[in-house]
Amino acid sequence: MNNLLIHNARIITAQQVYAPGWLLARAGIITAYGAGAPPDTPADTVIEAENLTLLPGFVDVHVHGANGSDTMDASVDALHTMAQFYARHGVTAFLATTWTDSQERITAALNAIKKYMAAPPTPKGAALMGVHLEGPYINRDKGGAQNLDLIRRADRDEVLPWLEMGIIRLISLAPEYPENHWLIRECVKRGITVSIAHTNATYQQARQAFDMGINHATHTYNAMTGLHHRDPGVLGAVLTTPTVRCELIADNIHVHPAAMKLMWEVKRPHHVMLISDAIRAAGRPDGDYPVDNRTVLVRDGVARLPDGTLAGSTLTLNRGVYHFMQATGEPIEHVWQTASLNPARAVHLAHRKGSIEIGKDADMILVNDQLQVHKTIIGGEVVFSL
Ligand SMILES: [Zn+2]
């Protein structure tokens, strides 16, 4: 029987904060928690939390790579390297995110993810919960660092076999192309979340896309038409449509803190989702890193193509949450959902993950006031200790 008892923690549950509080997990599931001293229960593992804050583990639904590895490496080893890196930075579940590439290379990446999910390697890292397919059905004019030569329209023969694999939870596409509309409907029918992404759509086109079932916006502000007061664009549509959840790269590079604050004012508390959009350079020093057949230059932690285009981030999500707290002036008690429950809901994982509640997976992190991760617990098992 694998019992875990945590005590003397400031516990942020879905309903309230216990300070100090205790929590009990049995066989990987949260079974009880409360205020004050813990009950006299035998436990295999006891953690005296020294007043650190216990949060639900972060759920990163948009992350490409880390620590020298990338989803597009199409290897179980690369995914394992990523999963272990994320766990050290507070992420307990993630979607491996693909990149615009050839049919062969995307298929190879999906095959590796499927293989990994069937038998996750040890030691345990963040749980790989599926795929975020970013591209290739996006708009070249807003392609960012994606491989522009390989951007295309949705093709049944190509994408239906990918959907049939049963591992895609999220698709980022540009909805302004009528050729992509059947795919939006197909995904909605299958319970796959569709996100407006790398898009040059007008306000009207974006609203039509939301009517078709799109309810997610990929790295909001970045690679989409901006807000002009006479031409509100995708950004205006996203911010004023209550059903749309917004991804945000809170690295202070992709988005100014004032724009983060604006999003919080409009979308709080349930429709902001912090993501890292991290690439293989995350956790590694400045240098030149390969992406498909090109090179990303990382200088002072900022990743760019040689022409200056931002190319993902080197952000870790615990830092992103801290930046977001600073940008909004809000304490962690008010913003914790943005990195866990909101993304978990967006990709239909909230019945198991995303908050500290009885019956959910015991995926939790102990952090200090600067969001430095002291311990990561996945399925009731301590997988990282500072
Ligand atoms: Zn992107």
pLDDT in tens, 176-192: 999 999 999 999 999 99
Active site residues: 277
C-beta of residue 253 within 8 angstroms of C-beta of residue 313: yes
What is the pLDDT averaged over residues 150-177?
Answer: 98
Domain 56-346 grouped into CATH 3.20.20.140: yes
Interior angle at CA 12, CA 6 and CA 16, nearest 5: 120
Half-sphere exposure of 153 (CA within 13 A, CB side): 7
63 CA distance to ligand 1 middle (Å): 10
247 CA distance to ligand 1 middle (Å): 11
Whether 355 shows a pLDDT value over 80: the answer reads yes
135 CA distance to ligand 1 middle (Å): 8
Domain 3-54+360-385 grouped into CATH 2.30.40.10: yes
The pLDDT value given to residue 317: 98
The pLDDT value given to residue 291: 87
192-207 pLDDT, tens digit each:
999 999 999 999 999 9
Residue 377 pLDDT level (bands cut at 50, 70, 90) = very high
Minimal CA–CA distance to 7: which of 57, 51, 55?
51
231 CA distance to ligand 1 middle (Å): 23
pLDDT, the chain, mean: 97
Question: From CA 136, how far away is CA 158, in angstroms rounded?
Answer: 11
Whether 1 shows a pLDDT value over 70: the answer reads no
Q: And the tokens for 298?
A: 């990382």
Listed by start position, the domains of the chain span 3-54+360-385, 56-346
